[in-house]
Structure 1
Amino acid sequence: MRRGYYFGWLIVLLALFTCSDASSQTVNQELSNIFNELWKLDVNRLSPGTHYNISLQGKAGYIPQGSTSAVDHASFPLFTSVDEAKLNSITTYARFMKLLDNYERSTGVAERVTAEEVTENNSFLDAILETAVMKRAHRYLIGKGKSRSDQRRFKNQLNSMWFRLYHRDRNGGEDSSGFEHVFVGETKFGREIMGLHNWVQFYLQEKQEILDYKGYKARDNDVPNKDDHVLNVQFSWHGLVKPVASAFVGVSPEFEMAIFTILFLTSTEKTTTAVVNLDEYQLEMVVYRHGRSIGTAYPKLLSSNNRHV
């Protein structure tokens, strides 16, 4: 009798857990729709096998946050080739890459922004605002009452969200920004890699032999595809190891700026997550708020090509 009683409660608890887990994975259809519109408009997205090639190699193992070493399951870089002429021929990429050396890597070290760097920020924003991707994102935000129709005001809004400096380490000066964290990467107290969710920066750091790809991350019996546009990976950078990082691959900087801007501006929560279906992927989109600016933003791969990962 007692065994049956406990077994019955076990079934109830399992059912509740399953329902809770399922509800947490409810797809946000509105965001899925607008993100897929932006995906189709992203004419500057590079094609795997044509504009770049990757070598996934082995599956990386578990390591705790703050580790300085990891077993290397990849003998070669993730990016075996990238058409740099193509990158440099596209205005948004070319201006984006000029921003990647504008930051102090370590938190606690105050950023010093030069007049030249301000000009580079403005030039990049001007370039992405001319793309169909960002124009559509702007119209969507106007419709939601989250942005004004005046493009100068929208540019100021983007600048504040992404480039305004703030304190990540309270012991130092203004040492971080949303753009630096998400697209460039930074280190915390010299013990932890933070951010660095951009594929172009990943490639450039690999090319300079500063970043070392350790292997892909996936659940048991799952192997990502070399043509995937979203990956979970493990890597070392400046003597530290990031246990797992997720990033889009091949997409344009304006696409990433657009989707994370939408997610940020359409929510007031400190942490915003949304499950979306984007092309052939199911993703959990994550944005952390740092006051009126972006703290971090990244995609978390849930499934691809009907694979549960």
Structure 2
Amino acid sequence: MKKVLKILLSAVLVLSFVFGATACVNPNNGGTTKSGLSYKKVDGGIYEIFKYNDDGKEEIEIKIDNVTEGIRIKKDAFAGNTNLKRIIVTSAVTEIQAGAFANMNSLEALALPFVGRYANADVKFKETGSATASQKKAIDAERTIAHLFGNEDYANGVEQTINYGAGTAVCYMPKTLKRVVVNAESTYSIPWGAFNGANHLEVIALLGDIDAIGENAFANTTISELEIPASVKTIHKEAFKSSLIKNVKFADGAKVDLLDSAFFGCSLLSFVGKGDAVENTIDLSLFNTIGENAFDSQNAVAESRVKTYSVQNAGDFNLELIFGDTKVN
């Protein structure tokens, strides 16, 4: 995992240097960057990237020189691209419309400052309040990574169904996409359902100032390992429900409120702690509070895989409440 992150971060640094040196000097009201991004200034004073002019390159950093915020990536801006393998969306981007990356055929790695349409999104399934006119908010399926790829079926797409209460959305993510990095430069919460059901992804990395992981954010995923930054203070209910996660590693200094059923049904979960993984071990000193059935690994689909956990630093926690029918010693 650390090796993968180093590779991804190296790519970020290289791209920042290359594209930072070649982008347009002054955005004015529109134009095309030397990296091939056609853009225009639209109502509200934001810059909209409406087309990527493919020149065969495999990597791109999405930015406009001298524009530090207020960039929107329009629907279909990268639609049908067959060459790009790695994309870095910089923090200057504040909106990604549905289907901005539709029908991509070679995309392998994607770095994002947030997941979904906007950075502003609720962490709970039941949305609360509304955004102000100056702070737009992602709602329903807009809170998920699948939103970025749109609802058009294609040969290289993997179908993903999102049930969000008011309805259902069906999106198609590129089957080539295996690695996603969320790099938050300002305080950010991973929203409800962010990666729910994106079970073709192999690596997800959380970097930067991420303070919470929303409900069902990683539910039904197949990533085997995840590192939790020290900035994370809350992991919401059912965040990893029925995922195939094996190792969850926390950064030094991490202290988290773990809500109900956070890892419910994670029948392959083997290690929760710091440092090197120790099989079937969970360190409870990482948590301020732990909700009911947070580590109940019972899974109707995989009952034979339920294990016995060795619990470290149990303190005053009620293990029966936390682990449910799962055995501990």
TM-score by length of 2: 0.23
More helix by share: 1
More strand by share: 2
The structure with higher relative contact order (CA 8 Å, sep 6+) is 1
